[in-house]
Amino acid sequence: MKFAVITFPGSNCDNDIVAVLKKNYSQKVDKIWHKDQFSEKYDLVFLPGGFSYGDYLRSGAMASFSPVMKSVKEHTDRGGKLFGICNGFQILTEAGYLPGALIRNRNLKYICKTVSLKKGSEKNQISGKLPIEKILRIPIAHGDGCYFASEEVRKELKDSGRILFYYEGDNPNGSLDQIAGICSPDFKIAGMMPHPERAMNEVTGEMDGKVVLDLVIAS
């Protein structure tokens, strides 16, 4: 398999995701700069966390117009998979790949802590394979992580099994319906606010992030 990680000015989690992909999956991983184009066929392209373009205008808004996004669209048009983490999720909503928006946390504070997640639905083609009782512990680190969408959109996401993860128990940012991540209709594009790449450390014993990435890569 071949992976690509897109790097924007202000990305600060690109090296993290590259490191865990190389260590845990022993596959080719290319870093691609926001000004560049790519024609190589990748199995999965990652949009990492950070503060792309300093989060000017809105988080992820300016990155959605980066030159590299032309190649990202070509990648998805030919059926390639795309996964956005935190700022990457914000970019996916701003670029129209996923519905809704990520807005300011309800408490108006930047939040950095570990949260609990549960799968969205048995019908979800990525997380649906998880046992219903499985609770994942994954870190978050964001100021604009409150998922917002109309009631109609949220109902459609739920009915079609497109909710990737829910926050379990504590809803750290006030996301509507406890939504922590969602998918496209074909489940080839997904985004989530929590950082699975930060829960892949055998020394600390926090390995739930590998569960997430295993599901995304295998889907």
Report the CATH number that the domain containing residue 54 is assigned in CATH.
Answer: 3.40.50.880
Q: Is 151 an annotated catalytic residue?
A: no
pLDDT digits 0-9 by tens, 86-125 = 999 999 999 999 999 999 999 999 999 999 999 999 999 9
- By percentage, how much of the chain surpasses pLDDT 90? 95
Is 49 exposed, middle or buried, given 0-12, 13-18 or 19+ CB atoms closer than 10 A?
buried
Q: How far apart are CA 113 and CA 140, in angstroms?
A: 6
Q: How many C-beta neighbours within 10 Å does residue 132 have?
A: 8
- Mean pLDDT for 28-57 is 96
- Mean pLDDT for 169-197 is 98
- Tell how far CA 217 is from the center of its chain: 13
pLDDT digits 0-9 by tens, 57-90 = 899 999 999 999 999 999 999 999 999 999 999 9
- Mean pLDDT for 139-162 is 98
Residue 205: domain span: 3-218
Q: Is 142 an annotated catalytic residue?
A: no
- Mean pLDDT for 152-167 is 98
- By percentage, how much of the chain surpasses pLDDT 70? 100
Rounded to the nearest integer, the mean pLDDT of the chain is: 97
Select which of 86, 94, 142, 183 is catalytic.
Answer: 86
pLDDT digits 0-9 by tens, 143-152 = 999 999 999 9
159 vs 205, more confident: 159
Q: How far apart are CA 34 and CA 146, in angstroms?
A: 26
Q: Is 156 an annotated catalytic residue?
A: no
Select which of 34, 75, 142, 195 is catalytic.
Answer: 195
Q: How far apart are CA 27 and CA 96, in angstroms?
A: 29
Q: How many domains does the chain have?
A: 1
pLDDT higher than 90, residue 203: no
Select which of 13, 34, 75, 197 is catalytic.
Answer: 197
Q: How far apart are CA 206 and CA 219, in angstroms?
A: 23
pLDDT at 32: 98
pLDDT at 202: 87
